[in-house]
């Protein structure tokens, strides 16, 4: 059974294919496909990913999902240029609700989801890793919840991240925005396994094959039970985090922080 995730050539994929899908041997491989934008989660990509996850949920032939990124990185978070273009709190509430719904779908769908991570996973990209059931990363991968660096606390990423790693480690990530390496992420509980990049597919396949060898009923039943008993209030947490993050997006410092980030200059904070 070949579940090896293929490296994607960006030039070979149609521009509109924001999430590529490959099915075979009981495995659905989904590839975030905005490599030139470091696979930033645009509204259109979130919609595409949601639609594909929902179809997979109803497909009994799919036993397991592998989520990966095309190009040099896994996912650099939300598309900041797109986000800052619309300065309306209602827009931000809708956006974060959309993203939260997709993240919860990863938990609620019956198939286990393995994140195959390389390069970087920052902000909502780190959230995506935390939201997946399992995660395997290349040893040179770096992780961060970096919104704080542009004046935006990563409220929605904090929901799954704080449910993966110890509280003080989560706060360190969220308050500093500093990167941690893959081995640190492994020791903190964000990852299941770390491998050299050239052996990443092999490591993912080994984990996938181990799960595929088990009863699909046991796996889907166990997954549903696990999250229900562990996090019965997750919807409330996401709703609250989305409200806070939407309000935070209205702050002047976010405009300044994102502009300084995009233009590669030092931010001048306004405190509003």
223-230 LR contacts (CB < 8 Å, sep 24+): 223/110, 223/112, 223/133, 224/108, 224/110, 227/107, 227/108, 230/163
> Each residue's pLDDT tens digit in the chain (272 positions)?
333 444 444 433 444 599 999 999 999 999 999 999 999 999 999 999 999 999 999 999 999 999 999 999 999 999 999 999 999 999 999 999 999 999 999 999 999 999 999 999 999 999 999 999 999 999 999 999 999 999 999 999 999 999 999 999 999 999 999 999 999 999 999 999 999 999 999 999 999 999 999 888 778 877 887 787 776 566 787 887 888 778 887 888 778 888 889 999 988 768 76
CATH number belonging to the domain at 10-198+215-262, selected among 3.90.550.10, 3.20.20.70, 3.40.50.10490, 3.90.226.10: 3.90.226.10
Q: What is the pTM of this model?
A: 0.86
b/e string for 209-219 if b means 16 or more Cβ within 10 A?
Answer: eebbeeebeeb
Q: How far is CA 206 from CA 119, 140, 203, in A?
A: 21, 20, 5
Neighbours of 50 (CB within 10 A): 16
Find where tokens 């110890």 sit.
Answer: 166
Structure tokens that stand for 106 in this block? 């990863």
Of 151, 175, 155, 148, nearest in space to 257 by CA: 151
Domain ranges of the chain: 10-198+215-262
């Amino acid at each position: 059974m070949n579940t090896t995730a293929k490296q994607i050539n960006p030039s070979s994929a149609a521009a509109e294919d924001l999430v590529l899908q490959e099915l075979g041997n009981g495995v659905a491989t989904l590839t975030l496909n905005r490599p030139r934008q470091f696979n930033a989660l645009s509204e259109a990509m979130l919609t595409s990913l949601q639609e594909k996850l929902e179809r997979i949920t109803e497909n009994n032939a799919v036993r397991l999902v592998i989520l990966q990124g095309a190009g040099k990185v896994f996912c650099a978070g939300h598309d900041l240029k797109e986000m800052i273009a619309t300065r309306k709190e209602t827009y931000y509430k809708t956006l974060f609700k959309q993203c939260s719904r997709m993240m919860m779908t990863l938990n609620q769908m019956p198939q286990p989801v393995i994140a195959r991570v390389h390069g970087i996973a920052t902000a909502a990209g780190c959230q995506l890793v935390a939201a997946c059931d399992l995660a395997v990363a290349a040893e040179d991968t770096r992780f961060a919840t970096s919104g704080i660096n542009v004046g935006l606390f990563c409220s929605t990423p904090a929901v799954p991240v704080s449910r993966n790693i110890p509280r003080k480690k989560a706060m360190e990530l969220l308050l500093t925005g500093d990167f941690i390496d893959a081995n640190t992420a492994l020791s903190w509980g964000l990852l299941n396994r770390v491998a050299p990049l050239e052996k990443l597919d092999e490591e993912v396949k080994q984990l996938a094959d181990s799960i595929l060898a088990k009863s699909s009923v046991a796996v889907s039943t166990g997954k549903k039970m696990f999250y229900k008993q562990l996090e019965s209030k997750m919807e409330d947490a996401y709703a609250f985090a989305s409200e806070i993050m939407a309000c935070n997006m209205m702050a002047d410092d976010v405009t300044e922080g994102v502009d300084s980030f995009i233009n590669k200059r030092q931010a001048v904070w306004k405190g509003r």
